[in-house]
Structure 1
Amino acid sequence: MQRVRPFSLLIKPVSADCNLRCRYCFYLDHLDFYPGKKHRMTDETLEAIIRTYLSVPLHEHIFLWQGGEPTLMGLEFFERVAELQDRYSPPGGRVSNGLQTNATLLTDELARHLKAHEYLVGVSIDGPPEIHDEHRLSTPGRATHEQVIAGLETLRKHGVECNVLCVVTQANAPHGKEVYRYLKSLGFDFHQYIPCVEFDPAGALADFAVGGEAWGQFLSDVFEEWRKSDTRRVSVRQFDSIVNKLVLGRPTLCPMDTNCCQYFVVEFSGDVYPCDFFVRSELSLGNVRSHAWVEMLAEPKYVEFGARKPRWHSDCQRCDYLELCAGDCLKHRGPPGSAPETKSVLCDGWKAFYSHSLPTFRSLAKEIERELRTV
């Protein structure tokens, strides 16, 4: 059977439901997208997702469980995931699972299950307590850092592989070196830094969001700490993607690619969308219970969405860093409704960061290329 272009699934079994109320969460503006106060994926929908996805001839099937807070589904849900994946996985098939969590609801039983089924768990931490707790609050508005660390310790106790996701806002952007050192002190060898780019109703950058200059300085500060002794010890996702592009000609992060058709988002209802930042009714591609994956891959709305990525600002065509930036994420190109030709609000920051760091990345890439030639 002929293989199709690889794609992964980002699955939201509770939609945007969460036990926290982080001040910067972009889902807060989408809580009314699906009616009702509680959203939970049914067993019928879960089985349809797993059965149909595992029937697609891919080298690897990647399930990414996200929210909201996916652990609201409880242990039984993830036990059912394992049961269905075992049932429908083709002979010799390779299945991997990732879970992104705020880590405040983790139990020993769930951690044991995640370990047994080789989940890679991403834990959301924005830095030391005084930074993390500025925005990442519980529903009653209380600090959460202590709970997160307790959840992390539960994962570590059971040997679950973990990485860290840090959202960069105006609160932690001035403290890049401190944040990097802190996350490293927690034992994280895999870091992902996500710029918080949100807009207010008037279309201006939200007061908690990170601006271009601050983003560039944050990345440069992290880079300076990283390059001291960690270039082969700590994986920073943005840095890995740059090196991968320089060595192999392709990035590993979708904002650095020239096409946005990298994965599908599956809501609790089974509705499918092209990107987690673009869960909008006009971009609905179908539902897993009624549409085949190959059909949605060819859906004109999906193809057109991906083709918007290289419709960047005219200045980008003359930019020295276009091959690495690719115009940046569509979400960063202005408030909702902006044309894809709008310049990213992070443009100046990316330029400053690349100007500062690219010589080191090029040297590292050449070093890796030499090593590959000797293998």
Structure 2
Amino acid sequence: MTKPFSLLIKPASADCNLRCSYCFYLDHSALYPEEKIHRMSDEILEEMISRYMATDQPQYIFGWQGGEPTLMGVEFFKKVVHYQQKYAKPGAIISNGLQTNGTLITEELAEFLHKYNFLVGISLDGPEHIHNKYRLNQGMKGTHAKVWEGIRLLQKYKVEFNILTLVSSSNVHHAKEVYHYLKDHGFYYQQYIPCVEMDEQGNPLPFTITGEEWGKFMCEIFDEWIQSDPYRISIRLFDSILSLMFYGRMSVCHMAGNCRQYFVVEYNGDVYPCDFFVEKERRLGNITRNSWEEMQDHPLYHSFGHLKHQWNDACIHCPYLFYCSGDCLKHRIYNGQPSETMSWLCEGWKKFYSHTIPGFYKLAKAIQLQQSIKGPLFVDQKQERNQPCFCGSGKKYKQCHG
């Protein structure tokens, strides 16, 4: 019996039509050197979908990423929907998300995405002079204008989409400019991701931001948002914090107490535990040879998941552990460091939470009154010390967040 999980699928592996300077996944093509071009076959696609649809899930969640997944073309995604419909149980709820650089969107693809309710994420780092610093095509030219062509097609066909902004050295000192640029263009669903990439010696690459910069950036975003936009603009991190306050559930994985929420499926069916850890030594199996149950029970999957709550002693006594759970492992165990290493962004997270939690709490109380949500906010509740910890670590509360 499998536990609920979602799929993050790389149908074109690390292949991409762009050459963004800060891309962490482009080098993953070296994992499969036997082929220059990586494309998921019909056989792998059908096997993956049929096996996933055979499990019991409250919702069947497919995330299509890359590399650049639109390299597969619209015919591939037509097959995706065909197999989903073919193998769906009566009443099954299916969700498709597509994360794309936006430069290969066509009229036909946009029309298809609308017809089948795909939620699209578009990578856009801000105005042209910011976006074009690192988001380059293979000719090393900026892609801002081309991305906007794709956005206009999505708007024309009324495709639901959000904006994913990578916060790098190009925009980290321009939080207000980026926020108002997105807001002024009507982009009311936003996500901000910190850019943290190291060289082989563990030194930050030029586009990497510091924890202090991350904290300041997100504080400025919050200050602009809380003034007039909390009921109009959705920012994924902010939504997750409010969800945690209301229901004790977070919607972004770096806030969870374990790293076992989803599987990454590569173009050839190989399965890994996390998008940031697609590494030969962490391969869990292959969907043509191993069941989902086998991979969920794999010792590597369990040991990887448990790394998340193997915190530094300083984390255990931190007032914000409830919200960050030590942060994403990507920011802790880079270059072979132990999981007890403090997050590269730790100081930024502390700066952000100390600045924003009072405002989030006040907003949560207002929403609670408006929507007649009963019961105290989760942050008010005193959990019994011998109960399982809210973070999902599997430990008792007294041995974890207590």
**Common fold, TM-score beyond 0.5?**
yes
Contact 2:110 2:154 in 1 (8 A): yes
Contact 2:7 2:262 in 1 (8 A): yes
CA RMSD of aligned residues (A): 1.2
CA drift of 1:334 comes to 4.6
After the TM superposition, which residues 116-195 of structure 1 pair with which residues of structure 2 at under 5 Å, given as runs?
A: 116-195=115-194
Counterparts of 1:260 and 1:182, CA distance in 2: 34
Contact 1:14 1:68 in 2 (8 A): yes
Aligned partner of 2:89 in structure 1 is: 90
The answer to whether 1:212 aligns with 2:211 is: yes
The one-letter amino acid of 1:219's match is: M
Counterparts of 1:29 and 1:57, CA distance in 2: 35
Counterparts of 2:58 and 2:26, CA distance in 1: 36
CA drift of 1:355 comes to 1.1
The one-letter amino acid of 1:18's match is: C
Once the two structures are superposed, what CA deviation does each residue of 1:172-213 show, in whole Å capped at 9, x if it has no partner? 000111111111222211111110110012211111111101
After the TM superposition, which residues 338-353 of structure 1 pair with which residues of structure 2 at under 5 Å, given as runs?
A: 338-353=337-352
Counterparts of 2:293 and 2:333, CA distance in 1: 31
Q: SS where residue 163 of structure 1 aligns? A: strand
Contact 2:262 2:274 in 1 (8 A): yes
Aligned partner of 1:41 in structure 2 is: 40
CA drift of 1:301 comes to 0.9
Rate the CA distance shift 1:374–1:60 in 2: closer, same or farther, 3 A.
Answer: closer
Identity %: 52
Q: 2:10 aligns with which of 4, 9, 12?
A: 12
Aligned partner of 2:201 in structure 1 is: 202
CA drift of 1:367 comes to 2.1
The one-letter amino acid of 2:15's match is: D
Q: SS where residue 26 of structure 1 aligns? A: coil
After the TM superposition, which residues 250-265 of structure 1 pair with which residues of structure 2 at under 5 Å, given as runs?
A: 250-265=249-264
Aligned partner of 2:400 in structure 1 is: none
Q: Which runs of 4+ in 1 moved over 4 A?
A: none
Aligned partner of 1:304 in structure 2 is: 303
Q: SS where residue 62 of structure 1 aligns? A: strand
Q: SS where residue 205 of structure 2 aligns? A: coil
Once the two structures are superposed, what CA deviation does each residue of 1:85-144 show, in whole Å capped at 9, x if it has no partner? 110111111111000000100100011111110000000000000000000000110110
The one-letter amino acid of 1:185's match is: D
After the TM superposition, which residues 54-65 of structure 1 pair with which residues of structure 2 at under 5 Å, given as runs?
A: 54-65=53-64
Rate the CA distance shift 1:44–1:176 in 2: closer, same or farther, 3 A.
Answer: same
Counterparts of 2:173 and 2:162, CA distance in 1: 22
Q: SS where residue 92 of structure 2 aligns? A: coil
Aligned partner of 1:337 in structure 2 is: 336
Counterparts of 1:98 and 1:297, CA distance in 2: 23
Instruction: Give me the TM-score of the superposition, normalised by structure 1.
Output: 0.97
Counterparts of 2:109 and 2:302, CA distance in 1: 38
Counterparts of 1:180 and 1:6, CA distance in 2: 35
Q: SS where residue 173 of structure 1 aligns? A: coil
CA drift of 1:372 comes to 4.4
Rate the CA distance shift 1:374–1:215 in 2: closer, same or farther, 3 A.
Answer: closer
Once the two structures are superposed, what CA deviation does each residue of 1:277-321 show, in whole Å capped at 9, x if it has no partner? 000111111111111112211111111111110001110011110
Q: SS where residue 31 of structure 2 aligns? A: coil
CA drift of 1:374 comes to 5.7
Contact 2:240 2:251 in 1 (8 A): yes
Aligned partner of 2:75 in structure 1 is: 76
Contact 1:124 1:165 in 2 (8 A): yes
Counterparts of 2:7 and 2:26, CA distance in 1: 22
Contact 1:9 1:62 in 2 (8 A): yes
Contact 1:334 1:345 in 2 (8 A): no
Rate the CA distance shift 1:316–1:374 in 2: closer, same or farther, 3 A.
Answer: closer
Aligned partner of 2:288 in structure 1 is: 289
Q: Which structure 1 segments of 5+ residues have no match?
A: none
Contact 1:247 1:368 in 2 (8 A): no
Counterparts of 2:341 and 2:276, CA distance in 1: 17
The one-letter amino acid of 1:141's match is: M
CA drift of 1:28 comes to 3.0
Q: SS where residue 336 of structure 2 aligns? A: coil
The one-letter amino acid of 1:239's match is: F
Counterparts of 2:361 and 2:241, CA distance in 1: 9
Counterparts of 2:95 and 2:254, CA distance in 1: 23
The answer to whether 1:106 aligns with 2:112 is: no
Counterparts of 1:283 and 1:335, CA distance in 2: 14
Counterparts of 2:45 and 2:359, CA distance in 1: 45
Q: SS where residue 373 of structure 1 aligns? A: coil
Aligned partner of 1:32 in structure 2 is: 30
Counterparts of 1:173 and 1:334, CA distance in 2: 23
Contact 1:167 1:194 in 2 (8 A): yes
Instruction: Give me the TM-score of the superposition, normalised by structure 2.
Output: 0.91
Q: SS where residue 32 of structure 1 aligns? A: helix
Counterparts of 1:169 and 1:77, CA distance in 2: 33
Contact 2:310 2:340 in 1 (8 A): yes
Counterparts of 1:112 and 1:353, CA distance in 2: 40
Counterparts of 1:43 and 1:106, CA distance in 2: 22
Aligned residues: 373
